[in-house]
Amino acid sequence: MEFIFDALVVGSGLAGLRAALEIPENLKVGLISKVFPTRSHSGAAQGGIGAALGNEEPDSWEWHMYDTVKGGDYLTDQDAAETLAMDAARAVYELEHMGVPFNRTPEGKIAQRAFGGHTRNFGEGPVKRSCFAADRTGRVVLDTMFGKAVERKIHIFTEFYMLDVIIDHGKVAGIISYELATGHLHTIWSKAVLIATGGFGRVYKTNSNCFTNTGDGVYLCYRNGVPLEDMEFVQFHPTGIYPLGVLVSEAARGEGGVLKNGIGRRFMPDYAPTLVDLAPRDVVSRAISTEIRAGRGVDGKDYVNLDLTHLGADKIEEKLSDISSFARIYLGVDATSEPIPVTPTCHYMMGGIPTDLNGRVLNVNGSPISGLYSAGEAACVSVHGANRLGTNSLLDLVVFGRRAGRAMTEDIKSLGAPTPVKDSQGRVEARIKAIKDGKGPKPADLRTKMKQIMTDFCSVFRNQADMERGLREIRGLKEQYRSVSIDNKGENYNTDLLDAIELESLLGLAEVILVSALSRTESRGAHYREDYPDRDDHNWLKHTLVMAGSHDPEVSFKPVKITRFQPKARKF
Ligand SMILES: Cc1cc2nc3c(=O)[nH]c(=O)nc-3n(C[C@H](O)[C@H](O)[C@H](O)COP(=O)(O)OP(=O)(O)OC[C@H]3O[C@@H](n4cnc5c(N)ncnc54)[C@H](O)[C@@H]3O)c2cc1C
């Protein structure tokens, strides 16, 4: 079948939903998601959304902006950080008015708690800035916003997979989608298309992401000639439950939890004397990995302890109940009386599809691609620079999702009807046939190898020799992938086929991460090179762009936007 829309939103996480809700009802809006909308990863967000409301202690948006820039190791585009911090309070009150049940202070205001890298008065000490609903903030925000989308009668395609973006003569015409239930392909023509398909933490073995975070939208844009920005910046969250990687939110440390090594000693004061356990994630993850490498993991193993026992059962039950139940369910650990074993886990992608402040996707020369938009974790505005602060992603989704919805509404007036492209489904049909006819390796085997390679050669610590080996091995897997095979050749609910298709995205993005990381010969934020341990502003205060070349990916650079805060040494 074919559909025609004014605006099509791909992805029903918070970025996609917020954008869709911004587009007026007189325009025809479609929303597609490969899972039921409320199963999007946004629903897993635990700790909260940042805004300098000042409800618990004095705060200001300028401090929030400063923290975002410094937290991002000065790679953050400062116009984006200013937009984010200035708009935060409005965005949180908007959620409150939609009906999000935030925790409250005794006098009834939105309650706030401390989070990594968020400080008072330009770095003096932690400040309570995260607005939260216990430790299931994403769940309640997603459910609330999905309700609004249903109320608005937005046309939602559930369990439809985007398998290609149609970009013709530099202009978007729509997408090709695959209906999981039937195996049918549908072309969805649209004047404007927003890519809000989220991140791709599934590239790594230990990660906190849901199974759907395979970066399809990011990869499809890349394959269709869109550059990808700052892909070397992969965030490892310090506290994934060992050995699974399931997240224990920073809220646990925001509420007073502390990290201890194998000899029972608090080690964060050695690494970050002012913010200690609440230093930004890159700093804490490196500290944990350094302790483990020095043999100070617990029982000589690859983990340290997160101790919440002194918080008391009541506080844990009231504010960290999901987290404590994860510890109980996955490990049989009772967080009120025993520490939780934790280790860094791949969590968030700072890089992605380059956009301007209004979600318009930019080509390699910095000009917008007509009709193409992106928001959320798939996009790189770049508001998180080299390392995102906790609570700033939920904020990014609602601030920049809304702006993208506005820009689409504005641009649609002059975009004109999409021009159908002949044989638009041909490439996708050929791909599906090739996978069904394949005689080579199974997707699961290649995927397991890919995750191990990325974990071994391009994680918290990196160096040239390891990454070169990683790149060779990933390219070897890409070669093997050409003959990938599946057992299920059927039409209905063929998740085998989609696993194989998602693997192409993951392998393509793994290659881009390695190429970007090899090119950046300095250490900045989440990208730490053992062979280049210092930040090098003279040569590297710039964003990386990677384009799909005729053979290998091609690397170029673009300047960082610096407005208020000149780069300084980053101490916490
Ligand atoms: C465990 C966890 C806890 C977190 N906690 C916090 C927190 O407390 N505060 C904070 O600020 N951030 C937090 N984050 C980060 C934040 O939740 C994510 O970055 C954010 O939710 C991403 O939102 P999104 O809208 O970009 O995409 P997602 O919510 O990931 O949604 C992606 C959407 O795209 C759809 N999609 C993907 N591929 C396709 C395709 N091919 N075809 C059709 N649809 C497709 C999916 O179905 C889904 O609807 C957390 C992340 C994790 C993993």
Distance (Å) from CA 267 to ligand 1 centroid = 32
Distance (Å) from CA 265 to ligand 1 centroid = 35
Q: Looking at ligand 1, which residue's alpha carbon is closest to its atom 37? A: 197
What's the angle, vertex CA 35, arms to CA 34 and CA 41, rounded to 5? 105
Ligand 1 binding pocket mutation candidate from 394, 402, 505 (most atoms within 8 A of CB): 394
Peptide bond into 243 cis (omega under 30): yes
Domain range list for the chain: 234-347, 426-547
Q: Max Cα separation, the chain?
A: 67
Distance (Å) from CA 81 to ligand 1 centroid = 20
Please name which of 199, 194, 219 lies closest in space to residue 209, comparing C-alpha atoms.
199
Residue type, 319: K
Query: Torsions phi, psi of 68, nearest 5?
Result: -65, -40
Which residues lie below 8 Å from residue 89, measured CB to CB, with a gap of 6+?
51, 52, 53, 61
Is the CB of residue 240 below 6 angstroms from any atom belonging to ligand 1? no
Which residues lie below 8 Å from residue 509, measured CB to CB, with a gap of 6+?
200, 203, 215, 218, 219, 222, 231
Tell me how crowded residue 9 is: count the other CB atoms within 10 A of its CB. Answer: 34
Helices (H) and strands (E) in the chain, counts: 16, 22
What's the CATH number for 234-347? Answer: 3.90.700.10
Contact 215, 200 (CB under 8 A): yes
Which listed residue (281, 286, 402, 403) is catalytic?
281
H helices within 23-77, ranges in order?
A: 61-71
pTM of the model: 0.97
Is 535 designated active site? no
Element (H, E) at 166: strand 160-168
Q: Looking at ligand 1, which residue's alpha carbon is closest to its atom 6? A: 45
Distance (Å) from CA 196 to ligand 1 centroid = 9
Per-residue pLDDT of the chain (572 residues; tens, 9 = 90+): 889 999 999 999 999 999 999 999 999 999 999 999 999 999 999 999 999 999 999 999 999 999 999 999 999 999 999 999 999 999 999 999 999 999 999 999 999 999 999 999 999 999 999 999 999 999 999 999 999 999 999 999 999 999 999 998 889 999 999 999 999 999 999 999 999 999 999 999 999 999 999 999 999 999 999 999 999 999 999 999 999 999 999 999 999 999 999 999 999 999 999 999 999 999 999 999 999 999 999 999 999 999 999 999 999 988 898 899 999 999 999 999 999 999 999 999 999 999 999 999 999 999 999 999 999 999 999 999 999 999 999 999 999 999 999 999 999 999 988 888 888 899 999 999 999 999 999 999 999 999 999 999 999 999 999 999 999 999 999 999 999 999 999 999 999 999 999 999 999 999 999 999 999 999 999 999 999 999 999 999 999 999 998 889 999 999 999 999 999 999 99
Is the CB of residue 238 below 6 angstroms from any atom belonging to ligand 1? no
Q: How far apart are CA 61 and CA 87, in angstroms?
A: 9
Output the pLDDT for position 156.
97
Is the CB of residue 208 below 6 angstroms from any atom belonging to ligand 1? yes
Is the CB of residue 343 below 6 angstroms from any atom belonging to ligand 1? no
Q: Which residues pair with 353 in a beta bridge?
A: 379
Output the pLDDT for position 422.
86
Distance (Å) from CA 42 to ligand 1 centroid = 4
Contact 283, 272 (CB under 8 A): yes
Is the CB of residue 244 below 6 angstroms from any atom belonging to ligand 1? no
Question: In CATH terms, are 234-347 and 426-547 the same topology?
Answer: no
Q: Which atom of ligand 1 is nearest to 209's Cα?
A: 53
Distance (Å) from CA 198 to ligand 1 centroid = 5
Output the pLDDT for position 276.
96
Q: How far apart are CA 64 and CA 61, in angstroms?
A: 5
3-state secondary structure of 165: strand
Q: Looking at ligand 1, which residue's alpha carbon is closest to its atom 11? A: 391
CATH topology of domain 426-547: Methane Monooxygenase Hydroxylase; Chain G, domain 1 (1.20.58)
